[in-house]
């Protein structure tokens, strides 16, 4: 070419103009095109790298379907609280970013294999908007119940869930030939009602280890060789995955994160997990199975979950349905005193394996020291030195000796950040287990939501013996919600419960939860249990409209309506 302004330079200018105008990057400029079925992972990596380099504000996706494979994805060893740790592949690694938005513009993001969609790490002012998340092969599997006897159950497994029966064991996989085949191990069986779109009435979890003895009957029919299974023909056995490897959105050590207008059809862990972060806003997020597929459940663990988070945590106008665990849980972490090495030195343990690697204790930090069985705080030691031994054990040196009464099994937790929690306008229904677990000591407001939960709709938990979750609300309002025929499942005996791990011998002296006001709710109920609470200081139940229904058979009509032992300042007005 003879032009003094070569064609390639012109292209560059145009490209810069299109791609960078207003600090907005278009993913198609990096090679990701909708609906072409090609792996868009490297294009996103390149786009995110470029966004960091130039400080772009936004990455947009022309509407369509995008595919993401793990092969070329970013990799990091992640400890994700209440999920499985591991060396993970991540499609959207947003790390060390400030003021950045992903706008899917209504696109569908389809993930393949063990690939985590989003990680937001050490970042501020991040937004995810306007897309759906689904997987080509789900982490759980499903089978339609054909018949159930005392010795076995026959199911029919849709083609969406490749499997084989090998060595007399049912194995789910991705359908590829060996050795490329990836297994999708399961360890739970739970019955769902596909018509009512919820866990089957009074269905319970069957733990199956990793070995499900089975016989292949041909024609995608399999006989599960397990005695005393219960199930109704036509219902669905859901096989829950063994571990929670693949969360949809992991937010770690970040602040001001917004997730809006996002639909999570599926992932292999929690939907949104926030840890050691603050100011998290989840609005119009829909956790639901995709339409028009042989899929009964949505995601395979809690819809959302927040650990050691501060500032505001807001769930607004969300739908959380048919996931295989609770809608949310907002709590801290206790470390267990494993050994008193010296008066001012203790080895502490992250005692639950799903909390391994959750380093939250810093030099100079003031902690609370609680009696393990009572959950009563008896000192506020200040940390002088932190020596991480490994993901499980840390050696702490304190500024002053610990009290003489300290004992192995007592616990320490952070007290410097509690989330102000708002749950408003959400619908929670059909999922396994409970609705919401309120365990933050910040102001907690639950209003205008609809609950149709298999277990307890609202639970106050916390313990230093099993889950090691710090809890104990101090200011909690539950108002103007609709509770619609909850407690049709096995996870709880009343609509609203305390199940904190406080040894009964210590309950008279413990007031772990404070100031709970349950007012002006509409409660449609077939099950009589309303409140089952203990160790609460200040409990009001008033202005609520109770409407009896016969939505389900009574499974325990003798459950008292209100149980409030070891509580003070209780006001219950029916």
Residues in the site for a second copy, rule: CB under 8 A?
Answer: 42, 45, 71-75, 77, 85, 87, 89, 166-169, 209, 211, 213, 347, 389-393
Instruction: In angstroms, give the least distance from the CB of 48 to a second copy.
Output: 13
Smaller CB distance to a second copy: residue 82 or 328? Answer: 82
Here the tokens at position 400 are 């002053």
Residue 45: phi and psi, rounded to 5, are -60, -45
Distances (CA, A) of 268 to 249, 300, 308: 11, 5, 22
Rounded Cα distance between 286 and 536, Å, is 33
Q: Which tokens go with 395? A: 């050696």
What minimum distance in Å lies between the beta carbon of 349 and a second copy?
9
Rounded to whole angstroms, the Cα distance separating 11 from 159 reads 47
Question: What is the closest distance, in whole angstroms, from the C-beta atom of residue 164 to a second copy in the complex?
Answer: 12
The owner of tokens 């380093």 is 359
Q: For residues 74 and 184, which CB has a smaller minimum distance to a second copy in the complex?
A: 74
Place of tokens 């996103």: 44
| Burial class of residue 15 (count of CB atoms within 10 Å of its CB; 0-12, 13-18, 19+) | exposed
* CA atoms of 121 and 260, how far apart (whole Å): 18
Nearest residue (CB) to a second copy, 87 versus 505: 87
Question: What 8-state DSSP symbol labels residue 505?
Answer: G
Identify the residue whose tokens are 């603050």.
Answer: 278
Supply the minimum distance, in Å, between the C-beta of residue 4 and a second copy.
Answer: 27
Shortest Cβ 393–a second copy spacing (Å): 6
Do you know the residue count of the chain?
574
Per the CB < 8 A criterion, the answer to whether 203 and 490 are in contact is yes
Nearest to residue 539, comparing CAs of 497, 481, 482?
A: 497
Q: How far is the CB of 396 from a second copy (least distance, A)?
A: 14
For the CB of residue 75, give the shortest distance to a second copy in the complex, in Å: 4
The least CB distance from residue 84 to a second copy, in Å, is: 12
| Separation CA 448–CA 285 (nearest Å) | 16
**Looking at beta carbons, which pairs linking 381-388 to residues 24 or more positions away fall under 8 Å?**
381/412, 384/344, 386/361, 386/362, 388/359
Instruction: Measure Cα distances from 440 to 275, 276, 300 in Å.
Output: 13, 13, 24
CB nearer to a second copy: give 35 or 75.
75
Closest Cα to residue 528, out of 567, 574, 482?
A: 574
Q: Which of 431, 410, 436, 402 is nearest to 421 (CA)?
A: 436
Closer CB to a second copy, 168 or 509, in the complex: 168
For residue 115 the two structure tokens come to: 């690939």
Non-local (6+) Cβ contacts of 186 within 8 A are 140, 141, 172, 208, 210, 212, 239, 240, 241, 242
Q: Which is nearer to a second copy, 1 or 466 (CB)?
A: 466
> Least distance in Å: CB of 163 to a second copy?
15
Give 64: exposed, middle or buried? Use CB within 10 Å, 0-12, 13-18, 19+: middle
Q: How far is the CB of 388 from a second copy (least distance, A)?
A: 9
End-to-end CA distance of the chain: 87
Taking the least distance from each CB to a second copy, the nearer of 46 and 482 is 46
Residue closer to a second copy (CB basis): 35 or 211: 211
User: Which residue blocks in 235-283 are alpha helix, DSSP H?
Assistant: none
Q: Which residue's structure tokens are 């996870």?
A: 491
Of 130 and 355, the one with the shorter C-beta distance to a second copy is: 355
Q: How far is the CB of 246 from a second copy (least distance, A)?
A: 16
3-state secondary structure of 110: strand
Nearer to a second copy, 2 or 8 (CB): 8
Minimum CB separation of residue 341 from a second copy in Å reads: 9
Of the pair 395, 424, the CB lying nearest a second copy is at 395
Q: Which SS3 state, helix, strand or coil, does residue 515 take?
A: strand
Query: Least distance to a second copy from the beta carbon of 151, Å?
Result: 14
């Amino acid at each position: 070419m003879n032009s003094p302004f070569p064609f390639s330079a012109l292209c560059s200018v145009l490209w810069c103009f299109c791609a960078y105008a207003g600090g907005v990057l278009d993913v198609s400029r990096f090679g990701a095109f909708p609906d072409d079925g090609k792996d868009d992972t490297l294009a996103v990596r390149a786009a995110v790298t470029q966004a960091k380099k130039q400080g772009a504000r936004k990455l947009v996706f022309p509407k369509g379907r995008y595919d993401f494979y793990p092969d070329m994805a970013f990799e990091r060893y992640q400890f994700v609280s209440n999920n499985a740790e591991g060396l993970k592949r991540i499609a959207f690694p947003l790390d060390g970013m400030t003021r950045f938005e992903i706008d899917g513009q209504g696109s569908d993001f389809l993930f393949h294999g063990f690939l985590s969609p989003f990680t937001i790490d050490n970042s501020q002012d991040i937004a995810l908007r306007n897309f759906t998340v689904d997987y080509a092969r789900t982490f759980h599997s499903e089978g339609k119940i054909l018949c159930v006897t005392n010795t076995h159950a026959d199911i029919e497994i849709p083609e969406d869930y490749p499997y084989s029966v090998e060595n007399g064991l049912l194995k789910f996989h991705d359908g590829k030939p060996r050795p490329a085949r990836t297994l999708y191990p399961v360890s739970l069986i739970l019955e769902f009602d596909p018509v009512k779109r919820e866990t089957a009435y009074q269905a319970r979890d069957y733990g199956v280890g990793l070995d499900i003895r089975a016989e292949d009957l041909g024609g995608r029919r399999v006989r599960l060789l397990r005695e005393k299974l219960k199930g109704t023909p036509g219902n669905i056995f859901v096989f829950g995955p063994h571990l929670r490897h693949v969360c949809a959105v992991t937010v770690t050590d970040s602040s001001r994160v917004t997730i809006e207008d996002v639909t999570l059809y599926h992932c292999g862990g929690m939907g949104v997990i926030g840890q050691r972060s603050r100011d998290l806003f989840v609005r119009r997020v829909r956790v639901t199975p995709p339409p028009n597929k042989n899929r009964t459940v949505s995601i395979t663990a809690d819809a959302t979950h927040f650990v050691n988070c501060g500032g505001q945590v807001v769930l607004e106008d969300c739908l959380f349905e048919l996931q295989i665990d609770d809608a949310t849980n907002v709590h801290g972490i206790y470390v267990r005193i494993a050994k008193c090495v010296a008066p001012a030195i203790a080895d502490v343990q992250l005692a639950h394996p799903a909390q391994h690697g959750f380093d939250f204790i810093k030099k100079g930090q003031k902690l609370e020291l609680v009696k393990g069985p009572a959950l009563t705080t008896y000192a506020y030691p200040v940390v002088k030195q932190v020596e991480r031994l490994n993901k499980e054990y840390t050696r702490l040196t304190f500024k002053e000796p610990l009290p003489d009464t300290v004992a192995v099994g007592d616990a320490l937790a952070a007290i410097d950040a509690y989330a102000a929690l708002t749950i408003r306008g959400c619908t929670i229904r059909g999922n396994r287990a409970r609705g919401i677990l309120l365990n933050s000591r910040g102001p907690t407001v639950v209003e205008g939501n609809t609950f149709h939960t298999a277990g307890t709709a609202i639970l106050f938990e916390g313990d230093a013996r099993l889950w090691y979750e710090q809890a104990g609300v101090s200011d909690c309002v539950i108002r103007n919600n609709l509770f619609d025929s909850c407690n049709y499942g096995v996870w709880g005996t009343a609509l609203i419960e305390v199940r904190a791990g406080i040894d009964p011998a210590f309950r008279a002296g413990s007031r772990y939860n404070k100031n709970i006001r349950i007012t002006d709710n509409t409660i449609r109920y077939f099950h009589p249990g309303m409140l089952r609470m203990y160790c609460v200081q200040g409990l009001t139940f008033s202005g609520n409209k109770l409407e009896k229904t016969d939505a389900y058979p009574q499974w325990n009509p003798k459950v008292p309506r209100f149980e409030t032992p070891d509580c003070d300042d209780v006001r219950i007005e029916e």
